Structure 1
């Protein structure tokens, strides 16, 4: 066996072993009542430490894991889009909008102020942190709500509405940031407003074109395609065709200058309007469970061990700001509409930062030190891990101590 074939065999062995370990990690973290993403991050970091010692990945290994991480993020955001209910959201928009606006502006502002003025970071890294702060990983918290059978309460439904708005705005802000950051870097901050205005204008024009494409596809072609897939194949095979089209749409977004992750989200939205397509979602679970862990493992692989220790202090400051931002930004407006109980529950539930936060920081790291340094990246990994661990623990305690939560939506 030649050397290249042997290297490939070893890498396949490694990918298979990590896939198996990921399943065990998910089961173990579930038993502990903790999100599995924390275990995936740790696994990726341990893999980085092992590779630093024995150099077994090499360039081919790095490329394979980067590809699997990219497929993982496409799978993740495709599912976020697929599970979105835009029609249902529009009916409940008024009661969620005030909370969502407070959440976005308080967290974005606090993230930028903390980074730029308190930590003394440059303008562009501070922008990345600000946008990363606006995101929420409500999936980390929603499992606790489901355990307590209060997801259909007035607070649970309000949380889901706010989180859905948060997901959509987070993806849009992320796409805009990816467009304007390189333009600001190339021109400098001296001509900041003209650069942002011009780049934003081009971005929104491209977004309208891509959005129109997605709408036309969703309106006139999606139902016919899913009907055709159901006719020629029995479940779960039709979902594979849906996923394939989702990947094509994601690639088109990448070719237009957007992130493929953005394209994956909109691909999910394309199929979310069709109840028949959403029924296929259960058959998507296996693909999702296979590839999504590689995104978080890839994040762990990118953590520079030497930067992690130096980032703990910065991570602690950003962690405090991240927690306060959600408690004030989401909890404050909720207090005015539902009272202290709703404010506490929704504020804590919105604290976790995971998927979109790490996509933003990972993209910044790939752009270079001018966007996100190794230290900043490691600090935000600390924020993601700690908020994802602490929020469910505190939320479970709150749900157990609070009086019975009323069901039904209050208007």
Structure 2
């Protein structure tokens, strides 16, 4: 047995190596135009292989890495909430709602029925797959549109609105699914399940209303004064540290109410998203974000069951086809009716990447147990996430060059 002090030194060494290797992977992939998260997941897979051969991680070390991964989830969803411009989304809701409805219904239902009917997965794993399929990786898509100087075009704004609402709706559906999944698992009797589901959903909605109202009241009557107070008494980055601390407190509060800490972090981001002063703090938050988010994706790689890879490949290919078709049909068809062929193709391709929210949904299911997300299904969705985030930049860049977007018209 390794002495406690030596074990601590080795853990510190391991964390330092992960930070450095993640940074190198990010730098290398960004140079060739690929998203960093693919490198983080591969790094996790390599560590998993090394652990199987060399027994790198003790149970305590895995707990520490899991804690860092949870901080990564909180950072990630806090950023998603912080960058969600609710006032603008409400104004654009009419224009984007038709596309959003088609997007969620087609991608979600196609994912569910493929998993449940074609792949013969049980109900709960199929629900997790369907929910995960509705999300979109906003960060990857937005970076490509910004690179093409097209983000402020009508199509760029529409894409951003739909992508943000995609993620918001996926987070809400995940929260509801996490509440009802244990009920579905523990009550196989179909005749008795409806009242229990109704009761669970009702309790969830009541807690959500209380939690949402608390966040709204804090955002409206407390947040701005508190932010300005810290800006007066301390120079940056201290105000950002305060914002981060409140985000962690909100995440923990959500966990105490029975939600996941990820949901709490998302709402904490929404709390500060309405305040222009808080938005200015976003750049200072980058260091915290860039330090901890890689641990989430490294953790994804560590959780991939290598013995399930062969079974996951077949599932992954089918789910990858579904992931592409779901967004292309669900987004491109409504867009075609509104804006024309080029817009339909651009927006459809832009919605295909599945990364952050998709993997958060699947990880939460994996944490519930094999009855919620079996290892081969989790591994298959990791393949879907990696494949879509690699494919889309390779396809979307040439399309944006072929159909350059301006602020004056739809194509």
TM category (shorter chain) comes to: over 0.9
Shift of 1:401: 2.0
2:22 match: 22
CA contact (8 A) 1:145 1:156 kept: yes
Query: For this pair of structures, how many residues does the alignment match?
Result: 409
CA distance in 2, matches of 1:138, 1:397: 19
Question: Following superposition of structure 1 onto structure 2, how do residues 169-188 of structure 1 map, counting pairs within 5 Å?
Answer: 169-188=169-188
CA distance in 1, matches of 2:95, 2:184: 36
Q: Kindly indicate whether residue 231 of structure 2 is the aligned counterpart of residue 213 of structure 1.
A: no
1:320 match: 321
CA contact (8 A) 1:41 1:300 kept: yes
TM-score with structure 1 length normalisation?
Answer: 0.98
Change (3 A) 1:189 1:100: farther
Shift of 1:408: 4.4
CA contact (8 A) 2:99 2:334 kept: yes
Greater mean alpha carbon deviation, residues 188-197 or residues 211-220: 188-197
2:379 match: 378
TM-score with structure 2 length normalisation?
Answer: 0.98
CA distance in 2, matches of 1:145, 1:328: 21
1:282 match: 283
1:153 match: 153
Measured against aligned partners, the alpha-carbon deviations of 1:232-257 in whole angstroms (never above 9, x if no partner) come to 10112110001001100010000000
Structure 2 unaligned regions, length at least 5: none
Measured against aligned partners, the alpha-carbon deviations of 1:169-205 in whole angstroms (never above 9, x if no partner) come to 1110010011010111111261443333221111111
Measured against aligned partners, the alpha-carbon deviations of 1:280-322 in whole angstroms (never above 9, x if no partner) come to 0000000000000000000000001111122100110011011
Question: Following superposition of structure 1 onto structure 2, how do residues 71-90 of structure 1 map, counting pairs within 5 Å?
Answer: 71-90=71-90
Measured against aligned partners, the alpha-carbon deviations of 1:326-347 in whole angstroms (never above 9, x if no partner) come to 0001111111111111110110
CA contact (8 A) 1:330 1:346 kept: yes
SS of 2:84's equivalent in the other structure is: coil
2:9 match: 9
2:202 match: 201
SS of 1:312's equivalent in the other structure is: helix
CA contact (8 A) 1:137 1:355 kept: yes
Shift of 1:409: 7.2
Structure 1 unaligned regions, length at least 5: none
CA contact (8 A) 1:152 1:408 kept: no
Measured against aligned partners, the alpha-carbon deviations of 1:344-398 in whole angstroms (never above 9, x if no partner) come to 0110000000111101111111111110111010000000000010011110121
Shift of 1:81: 0.5
CA distance in 2, matches of 1:189, 1:116: 19
